[in-house]
């Protein structure tokens, strides 16, 4: 799907909701990852900073290194929201990012769980303002991001 599939009204819903959530990316990003680890607890093992694995999601979520990753994810989403008129400008970057995550050991299905967790965090952050059309718009946007990352993931897999 290309960015042209998002209507102007959908782009506006995305911008509005992100303006609220992005006031506190650390908090909403932590809500996202808390949900992600509830849904897929094994993902905690893929964050071995300084070669030591966290023994629990709670320990991982409290680590400054991990919080940097939360920040990185929120920055990628912010870049997507800022590039709604031209999402293909992010293509090369997202392909590279997908390749990197393949090397780290992330499965493509986990990208979808991140998407679910993002919707969860938006819902928690926005409450009733997170309308059904807003949810649909975000689902479309995130699927463009995942599609590009998955392409890179596949390239990484084939290059093994």
Query: 64 to 93, contacts with ligand HEM by CB under 6 A?
Result: 68-69, 72-73, 76
Q: Give the nearest distance from C-beta 89 to ligand HEM in angstroms.
A: 16
Per DSSP, the three-state class of 40 is coil
Return d(Cα 48, Cα 33) in angstroms, integer: 16
* CA-angle at 33, arms to 111 and 95, nearest 5°: 30
CB closer to ligand HEM, 22 vs 110: 110
- The contacts of residue 115 (CB under 8 Å, 6+ apart) are 139, 142, 143, 146
> Does residue 114 belong to the site contacting ligand HEM (CB under 6 A)?
yes
> Does residue 19 belong to the site contacting ligand HEM (CB under 6 A)?
no
Considering only 47, 116, 119, 124, the residue that binds ligand HEM (CB under 6 A) is: 47
* CA-angle at 76, arms to 53 and 67, nearest 5°: 35
> Does residue 151 belong to the site contacting ligand HEM (CB under 6 A)?
no
Considering only 13, 14, 43, 90, the residue that binds ligand HEM (CB under 6 A) is: 43
Considering only 101, 121, 126, 152, the residue that binds ligand HEM (CB under 6 A) is: 101
Reading the block at residue 52, the tokens are 């030591």
Return d(Cα 132, Cα 129) in angstroms, integer: 9
Q: Give the nearest distance from C-beta 128 to ligand HEM in angstroms.
A: 26
Return d(Cα 38, Cα 20) in angstroms, integer: 25
CB closer to ligand HEM, 40 vs 128: 40
- The contacts of residue 144 (CB under 8 Å, 6+ apart) are 1, 2, 3, 80, 87
> Does residue 1 belong to the site contacting ligand HEM (CB under 6 A)?
no
Count of residues binding ligand HEM (CB under 6 A)? 17
Residues that bind ligand HEM (CB under 6 A): 43, 46-47, 68-69, 72-73, 76, 97, 100-101, 104, 106, 110-111, 114, 145
């Amino acid at each position: 799907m290309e960015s042209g599939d998002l209507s102007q009204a959908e782009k506006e819903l995305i911008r509005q909701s992100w303006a609220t959530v992005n006031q506190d990316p650390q908090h909403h990003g932590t809500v996202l990852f808390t949900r992600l680890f509830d849904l897929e607890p094994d993902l905690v093992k893929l964050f071995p900073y300084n070669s030591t694995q966290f023994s629990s999601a709670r320990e991982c979520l409290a680590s400054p290194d991990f919080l940097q990753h939360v920040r990185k994810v929120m920055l990628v989403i912010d870049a997507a929201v800022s590039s709604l008129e031209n999402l293909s400008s992010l293509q090369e970057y997202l392909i590279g990012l997908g390749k990197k995550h393949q090397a780290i050991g992330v499965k493509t299905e986990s990208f979808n769980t991140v998407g679910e967790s993002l919707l969860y965090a938006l819902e928690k952050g926005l409450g009733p303002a997170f309308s059904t059309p807003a949810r649909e718009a975000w689902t479309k946007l995130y699927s463009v991001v995942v599609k590009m990352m998955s392409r890179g993931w596949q390239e990484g897999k084939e290059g093994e």
